[in-house]
Structure 1
């Protein structure tokens, strides 16, 4: 059985047959977590559809140098672009949603405040979370072998996000009282925007306003799902119906 080659993300342009000193923040992970040694192989991805195979040449105090051996084109991106608008949930739930959504192939994630007042009152607090969410995105790609890092967009209030789109775009909001399901969507979707609410869901008045922006209400079944479950269920179904999960 082939040994799994560890993967790391480097935000640099890379070239084969060159030496590269890894960022200092990778030292602890490679040396102490992975316990890698000189001459071990490492796979590097850099937000392109190429992966770079490298070998560790030397490990010094807080400093690791690798030699890039070759590059290989490798795309595991879905054939459908799914953009998730997610009402911001509690820390662990939001972290989980971001991680699993990326593993399921989401193209971008926009954290959403329910209203503009909430956005103003919580934006500074959320700025710290954005850094954490972007790290989770990289870690998820590292795990699931995606090479393009999905975008974690700046948080915005729900109404402003809904108003950004054109009428021709496919947009859906998940609501348990809807009479429609995903099977009733057209079969030629290549890009779709999905909206998932908080634990409390959306009120009837909120759904009416969202529908006025061209969002189609879709049900995920008769059971009431947690917000993080709804995101995962929706992405799984969409990838099965229109994407690359089969």
Structure 2
């Protein structure tokens, strides 16, 4: 199978030899972005470890139908399950963080409110943001060959998120004043929760409380990183140490 076959996401159970009508968004994508034609082949993923190959059997201005002719198992998920707690930033930086972290294998993201995030929860349009973030996640999975759709959780207060940690999770906060590095973490864990702060960093009180909730403070290096850089650097370090990034 060629790697350049276009991919779309369909949220339903799929079967070989069945015919499916596509959604309005997928019709727009196939016709106007991919410029595909009748009998062209497309790859479908539906949030499972299976992918499906289908042919376009009907195409018109308002309707596209496809017929699935093959399915196969295709696992692309990392062996380590990463839950990113990312403090919300202004200017849509979190959109970029979500996109890049999904490419790098994060399984779940919870946007967080903190003391220095400069975002007031009462003025935050949660439903609109969740809808936007889910579209980013699906589009990113479409591009990077992930078949399992990562979850975006409802934004919450940083301490309430920290309190929900499970005992079998490895819990990490990345902070430049720590003396511990990720290479000093020897115990491998399947589930890892990481927390990344905003542009202004964490307050001393927040650091104290987060560590009390069982998080280990880890230093990535001698330089101060922007929040969007810190998230990507942290995920990369975890995937190299515990996941499927190859050096």
TM-score (norm 1): 0.95
Uncovered stretches (5+) of structure 1, i.e. residues with no partner: none
Distance 1:214 1:119, change over 3 A: farther
Aligned to 1:67: 67
TM-score (norm 2): 0.94
| SS of equivalent residue, structure 2 residue 92 | helix
Uncovered stretches (5+) of structure 2, i.e. residues with no partner: none
- Offset of residue 25 of structure 1: 1.9
Whether the 8 Å contact between 1:173 and 1:215 is mirrored in structure 2 is: yes
Aligned to 2:180: 180
| SS of equivalent residue, structure 1 residue 71 | strand
- Offset of residue 126 of structure 1: 2.9
- Offset of residue 188 of structure 1: 1.7
CA distance in 2, matches of 1:185, 1:37: 52
Aligned to 2:239: 239
Whether the 8 Å contact between 2:54 and 2:67 is mirrored in structure 1 is: yes
Whether the 8 Å contact between 1:40 and 1:56 is mirrored in structure 2 is: yes
- The 5 A counterparts of 1:165-176 are 165-176=165-176
CA distance in 1, matches of 2:58, 2:180: 59
Number of aligned residues? 244
CA distance in 2, matches of 1:24, 1:66: 14
Aligned to 2:109: 109
Whether the 8 Å contact between 1:179 and 1:218 is mirrored in structure 2 is: yes
Q: 1:22-47: per-residue Cα shift (whole Å, max 9, x none)?
A: 11221111011100000000000000
CA distance in 2, matches of 1:172, 1:238: 10
Aligned to 2:76: 76
CA distance in 2, matches of 1:93, 1:78: 25
**Structure 1 runs of 4+ with >6 Å offset:** none
Aligned to 1:16: 16
Whether the 8 Å contact between 1:119 and 1:157 is mirrored in structure 2 is: no
- Offset of residue 9 of structure 1: 0.4
| SS of equivalent residue, structure 2 residue 38 | coil
Whether the 8 Å contact between 1:187 and 1:242 is mirrored in structure 2 is: no
Whether the 8 Å contact between 2:88 and 2:119 is mirrored in structure 1 is: no
